[in-house]
Amino acid sequence: MALSGSETPAFDSENLRELKQKVVDGCHILDREGITDGFGHVSIRVPGTEAFITIASVSPGCATLKRLVMLDLNGQYLGGQNTPPYEWPIHACIFKARPDVMSVCHTHSRWSSLFSVLRGGLPPIHMYAKFLPPKGPPIYPAAGLIGTVERGEALARTLQDSAAVLLRAHGDAVIGASLEQAILRTLQLAFLGELAHMAVAHGEPLYLSQEELGTFAADRSFPARPWEYYLSRIRERHSA
């Protein structure tokens, strides 16, 4: 939870190290799993403060501990490499509107991009859709990168209390109560998009009803298993 007035630790302080490593790992996972390209970002809220850490204008695949930036929720620079991402308001405005959110991912995922311009939405086709609203994620319709607070606030309003929002002709923003959860949901959203796309080739699929979705376990628990798995896949790459 964000507690205004709390003192934000210095960017280089030891107690931010774990958070920073998590951001870098999360970025590398999204890249390794084919979600991001040159663009996209992952952020994490510094617990108990009005600050967050994200990547400093670099591809998620190229993120390092040195290429991170810390900003407050008004976009003021607090430390790190002083090249904030152009779309920092995605993160700042969602963190401001949603005190429950600890992490935000923004990607140009092909599957989110695809369903952002289709007319049928992305209804639940698999139990992974448990974290989404019953009719699928809302779609932010406006053109333009989220480079202003005005656009960031409009995006946060479209997101409302959902766990993900599609950005029309652009991609997605996915939130989590932890960074691990935001990453996992981003991957699951892509999986759902791909499945829905393939299924439609065969005719109208049997989507899950809200009641049916309710019978599956929630995704609220700490997603330690897939996180360990995806970490193992980036470690493979880095040790290869």
Chain residues that interact with other proteins, rule: CB under 8 A? 37-39, 57-59, 61-62, 86, 108, 110, 113-114, 117-120, 143-145, 147, 168-170, 197, 200-201, 237
| Residue among 60 and 223 whose Cβ is closer to other proteins | 60
Q: How far is the CB of 157 from other proteins (least distance, A)?
A: 19
Q: How far is the CB of 2 from other proteins (least distance, A)?
A: 28
The string of DSSP letters for 66-128 reads: TSEEEEETT--EEEESS---TTHHHHHHHHHH-TT--EEEEE--HHHHHHHS-SS-----SGG
| Residue among 58 and 164 whose Cβ is closer to other proteins | 58
| Residue among 110 and 126 whose Cβ is closer to other proteins | 110
| Residue among 2 and 56 whose Cβ is closer to other proteins | 56
**Which residues have a Cβ under 8 Å from the Cβ of 231 and sit 6 or more positions away?**
25, 29
Q: Any idea which residue has 């695809």 for tokens?
A: 114
The total number of residues shown for the chain amounts to 240
Taking the chain, what is the end-to-end CA distance rounded to the nearest angstrom? 39
Q: How far is the CB of 26 from other proteins (least distance, A)?
A: 16
| Residue among 201 and 218 whose Cβ is closer to other proteins | 201
Q: Any idea which residue has 């960031």 for tokens?
A: 152
| Residue among 116 and 181 whose Cβ is closer to other proteins | 116
Q: In what order do the strands lie in the sheet with 77-80?
A: 77-80, 68-72, 51-55, 41-45, 103-107, 171-176, 164-167, 139-140
Angle at the Cα of 13 from the Cα atoms of 32 and 66, rounded to 5 degrees: 35
Q: Any idea which residue has 């829905």 for tokens?
A: 196
**Which residues have a Cβ under 8 Å from the Cβ of 98 and sit 6 or more positions away?**
156, 159, 161, 175
Q: How far is the CB of 184 from other proteins (least distance, A)?
A: 23
| Residue among 65 and 117 whose Cβ is closer to other proteins | 117
Q: How far is the CB of 235 from other proteins (least distance, A)?
A: 14
Q: How far is the CB of 48 from other proteins (least distance, A)?
A: 32
155 vs 150: CA distance, rounded Å: 9
Q: How far is the CB of 101 from other proteins (least distance, A)?
A: 25
